[in-house]
C-alpha cells in the first residue's frame, strides 16, 4: 500500500510511518520544515520518500500529491496527523493565533483530502484516518482553538465518510491520548499532572502503540465513519 502520513518527521507521525514501513508498505514521510528529520525517518524504511508541504497551502499540498502519483501511481492510505497547539486562555488568544491553529489542524486535513480523494475515487478504494483529540470531544480550558479544530476535524471525518463511502473509501478519526512528543512535552507541568490523574492507567499514551492501532485499522475493510478513542481517560 502507498501510505501518506502528514507530519511524520517526528512524534506520532514518525511512529506511524515506521509502523507502515515495518509492514513493507511504501511510505510518504511528510513535514513542513524539518526535511532532515523526515529524511532520517526515510533512511529507516525500505521504500519511502520525504516531501515538504505547508498543510495550510492547497497548492503545496496538491503538488505533493502529484509527486506521489507520479512516483507510485496511487494513494491507498492518507493519515492526517500534522498538527499544532498552543496553550492560552480564550481572552488571551489573538485572532491570528486562532486562525493559525484552525488553518493547520482543520483546513490542513481538508486540503490533503481534497487533493488525494479524486485518486482514491478513481481507484475505488482508500482509507483516510484523521488524528483528532479527546479535547475535541470534552473541551479543555486553555485550549479553545485547539479543541475547536479537533472537534471540527471529527465533523469533517463524519461528513467525508458519508460522501465517500459509495466509492469504497473509509474515513475514520482517532483520539490518540496524551503522548510525550514535542507537542506533549511542551505543555505545562500542571497539564501533564492532570492527564495522569484522569488516566485510568495512570500513564501517558505511547506513540508506538497508537501507531500499531492505526496501521491495523488502515488494513481492515468495512469500518468507516467512526471515532476511536485510544485515550485511557473516559469521555
Residues serving a catalytic function are 146
Query: Phi, psi at residue 81, to the nearest 5°?
Result: -110, -30
Of 193-232, which residues contact ligand NAP (CB under 6 A)? Answer: none
Q: What does residue 187 show for φ and ψ, rounded to 5 degrees? A: -70, 165
Q: Which stretch binds ligand NAP (CB under 6 A): 67-75, 112-120, 180-188, 217-225?
A: 180-188
**What dihedral angle (degrees, nearest 10) is formed by the CA atoms of 96, 146, 131, 155?**
-90
Entry field: residues in the chain: 235
Q: Is position 181 an interface residue for ligand NAP (rule: CB under 6 A)?
A: yes
> CB-wise, 167 or 228, nearer to ligand NAP?
228
d(CA 226, CA 101): 24
Task: Report if residue 109 touches ligand NAP, rule: CB under 6 A.
Answer: no
Which lies closer to ligand NAP via its Cβ, residue 129 or residue 179?
A: 179
The residues near 155 (Cβ < 8 Å, ≥ 6 apart) are none
Three-state DSSP class for residue 235: coil
Does 184 bind ligand NAP (CB under 6 A)? Our answer is: yes
Tell the smallest beta-carbon distance from residue 209 to ligand NAP (Å): 13
Q: Which residue is nearest to ligand NAP (CB)?
A: 11
How many residues belong to the site for ligand NAP (CB under 6 A)?
Answer: 30
Residue 160 binds to ligand NAP (criterion: CB under 6 A): no
Triad 224, 227, 231: Cα angle to 5°: 145
CB of 179 to ligand NAP, least distance (A): 4
Binding mask 77-96 for ligand NAP (x = CB under 6 A): ----xxxx------------
107 binding ligand NAP? (CB under 6 A)? no
Q: Which region, judged by CB under 6 A, interacts with ligand NAP, from 31-39, 66-74, 117-125, 162-170? A: 31-39
If one asks whether residue 55 binds ligand NAP (CB under 6 A), the answer comes out as yes
Yes or no: say if 127 and 77 are a contact pair by the CB < 8 Å rule: yes
Distance of CA 173 to the CA centre of its chain: 9
- CA–CA separation, 35 and 233 (whole Å): 34
Q: Which of 3, 4, 5, 11 binds ligand NAP (CB under 6 A)?
A: 11
Q: Which residue in the block uniquely carries the three cell numbers 499532572? A: 193
Q: What are phi and psi of 126, to 5 degrees?
A: 160, 160
Contact call for residue 21 and ligand NAP (CB under 6 A): no
Note the maximum CA span of the chain: 49
Q: Which residues bind ligand NAP (CB under 6 A)?
A: 6-7, 9-13, 31-34, 37, 54-56, 81-84, 104, 108, 131, 133, 176, 178-179, 181-184
Amino acid at each position: 500500500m502507498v501510505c501518506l502520513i502528514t507530519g511524520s518527521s517526528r512524534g506520532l507521525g514518525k511512529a506511524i510511518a515506521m509502523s507502515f514501513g515495518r509492514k513493507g508498505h511504501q511510505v510518504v514521510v511528510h513535514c513542513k520544515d524539518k526535511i532532515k528529520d523526515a529524511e532520517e525517518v526515510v533512511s529507516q524504511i525500505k521504500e519511502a520518500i520525504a516531501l515538504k508541504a505547508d498543510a495550510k497551502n492547497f497548492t503545496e499540498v496538491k503538488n505533493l500529491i502529484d509527486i506521489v502519483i507520479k512516483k507510485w501511481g496511487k494513494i491507498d492510505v492518507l493519515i492526517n496527523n500534522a498538527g499544532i497547539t498552543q496553550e492560552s486562555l480564550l481572552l488571551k488568544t489573538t485572532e491570528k493565533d486562532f486562525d493559525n491553529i484552525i488553518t493547520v489542524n482543520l483546513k490542513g486535513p481538508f486540503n490533503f483530502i481534497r487533493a488525494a480523494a479524486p485518486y482514491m475515487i478513481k481507484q475505488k478504494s482508500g482509507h483516510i484516518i484523521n488524528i483528532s483529540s479527546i479535547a475535541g470531544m470534552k473541551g479543555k480550558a486553555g485550549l479553545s482553538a485547539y479543541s475547536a479544530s479537533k472537534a471540527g476535524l471529527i465533523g469533517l471525518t463524519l461528513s467525508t465518510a458519508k460522501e465517500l463511502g459509495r466509492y469504497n473509501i473509509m474515513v475514520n478519526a482517532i483520539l490518540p491520548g496524551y503522548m510525550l512528543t514535542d507537542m506533549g512535552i511542551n505543555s505545562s507541568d500542571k497539564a501533564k499532572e492532570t492527564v495522569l490523574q484522569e488516566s485510568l492507567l495512570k500513564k501517558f499514551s505511547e506513540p508506538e502503540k497508537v501507531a500499531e492501532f492505526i496501521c491495523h485499522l488502515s488494513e481492515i475493510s468495512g469500518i468507516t465513519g467512526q471515532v476511536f478513542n485510544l485515550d485511557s481517560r473516559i469521555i
